[in-house]
Amino acid sequence: MAKVDRRILKSQEAIKKSVLELMAEKSFDDITIQDIADRANVNRGTIYLHYTDKFDLLDRIVEEHISKLRELCQSASEMTFKEGNYVWFEYFASNYLFFSTMLTTKSAAYFRSRFLDLVVQEYRVEFDVSEGINQGLNEEMLLQFFGAAVVGAVEWWFKNGMPLPPRVMAEQTGMLLDRNL
Cite the beta strand spans of the chain per DSSP E: none
The domain in which residue 130 lies consists of: 59-180
Q: How far is CA 63 from CA 54, 72, 114, 176, in A?
A: 14, 14, 9, 28
**Percentage helix, strand, coil, to 5, in the chain?**
80, 0, 20
pLDDT, residue 3, reads 73
- Pick from 39, 31, 40: which is nearest to 12 by CA? 40
Q: Is 31 buried (19+), middle (13-18) or exposed (0-12) by CB count in 10 A?
A: buried
> Do 30 and 80 belong together in one domain?
no
Domain count along the chain: 2
> Do 113 and 35 belong together in one domain?
no
**Model-level pTM?**
0.80
List, for residues 21-80, the tens digit of each pLDDT value.
999 898 888 999 999 999 999 999 999 999 999 999 999 999 999 999 999 988 887 888
> Do 122 and 152 belong together in one domain?
yes
Do 53 and 32 touch, CB atoms closer than 8 A? Answer: no
> Do 99 and 12 belong together in one domain?
no
